[in-house]
Amino acid sequence: MNIIDGKAVSASVKEQIRQEILRDNLQVGLAVIIVGNNQASRVYVNNKKKACEVCGMQSFEYALPEETTEKELLELIDTLNNDPKVNGILCQLPLPKHLDEEKVIEAISPLKDVDAFHAVNVGKIMIGNYAFLPCTPAGVMELIHSTGTDVCGKECVVIGRSNIVGKPMAMLLLHENATVTVCHSRTKNLAEVCRRADILVSAVGRADFVTADMVKDGAVVIDVGMNRNAENKLCGDVKFDEVAPKCSYITPVPGGVGPMTIAMLMKNTLMAKRLQMSNE
Residues 96 and 148 in one domain: no
Residues 145 and 217 in one domain: yes
Residue 159 domain-assigned (yes or no): yes
Per cent of the chain over pLDDT 90 is 94
Residue 217 domain-assigned (yes or no): yes
As a three-state string, the secondary structure of the chain is CEECCHHHHHHHHHHHHHHHHHHCCCCCEEEEEEECCCHHHHHHHHHHHHHHHHHCCEEEEEEECCCCCHHHHHHHHHHHHCCCCCCEEEECCCCCCCCCHHHHHHHCCCCCECCCCCHHHHHHHHHCCCCCCCHHHHHHHHHHHHCCCCCCCCEEEEECCCCCCHHHHHHHHHHCCCEEEEECCCCCCHHHHHCCCCEEEECCCCCCCECHHHCCCCCEEEECCCEECCCCCEECCECHHHHHHHCCEECCCCCCHHHHHHHHHHHHHHHHHHHHHHHC
Number of domains in the chain: 2
User: What is the C-alpha to C-alpha distance for residues 64 and 193, in angstroms, rounded to an integer?
Assistant: 45
CA angle, 52 then 85 then 47, to 5°: 20
Neighbouring C-beta atoms of residue 146, cutoff 10 Å: 17
> Are the beta carbons of 19 and 83 closer than 8 angstroms?
no
Q: Which residues make Cβ contacts (< 8 Å) with residue 142, sequence separation at least 6? A: 9, 13, 260, 263, 264
Residue 268 domain-assigned (yes or no): no
Tens of pLDDT, residue by residue over 128-175, are: 999 889 999 999 999 999 999 999 999 999 999 999 999 999 999 999
Tens of pLDDT, residue by residue over 207-255, are: 999 999 999 999 999 999 999 888 888 999 999 999 999 999 999 999 9
| Residue range(s) defining the domain that contains residue 68 | 25-109
Tens of pLDDT, residue by residue over 176-207, are: 999 999 999 999 999 999 999 999 999 999 99
Residues 194 and 154 in one domain: yes
User: What is the C-alpha to C-alpha distance for residues 93 and 41, in angstroms, rounded to an integer?
Assistant: 7
Please report the pLDDT score of residue 33 as a whole number.
98
Residues 145 and 251 in one domain: yes
Residue 189 domain-assigned (yes or no): yes
Q: What is the CATH number of the domain that holds 76?
A: 3.40.50.10860
Neighbouring C-beta atoms of residue 161, cutoff 10 Å: 18
Residues 222 and 142 in one domain: yes
Residue 196: C-alpha distances to residues 156, 190, 217, 243 (Å): 8, 10, 10, 15
The answer to whether 92 is a known catalytic residue is yes
Q: Identify the bridge partners of residue 3 per DSSP, sorted by sequence position.
A: 250
Residues 155 and 215 in one domain: yes
Residues 175 and 216 in one domain: yes
Residue 196 domain-assigned (yes or no): yes
Query: What is the CB-side half-sphere exposure of residue 138 using CA atoms within 13 A?
Result: 20
Residue 47 has pLDDT above 80, yes or no: yes
**Residue at which a domain ends, from 57, 92, 109:** 109
Residues 242 and 158 in one domain: yes
Residues 141 and 105 in one domain: no
Residue 75 domain-assigned (yes or no): yes
Residues 105 and 167 in one domain: no
Please report the pLDDT score of residue 161 as a whole number.
96
> Given 113, 115, 198, 208, which residue is catalytic?
115
Please report the pLDDT score of residue 232 as a whole number.
87
Residues 89 and 187 in one domain: no
Residue 123 domain-assigned (yes or no): no
Please report the pLDDT score of residue 160 as a whole number.
97
Residues 69 and 140 in one domain: no
The answer to whether 48 is a known catalytic residue is yes
Residue 228 domain-assigned (yes or no): yes
Q: What is the CATH number of the domain that holds 247?
A: 3.40.50.720
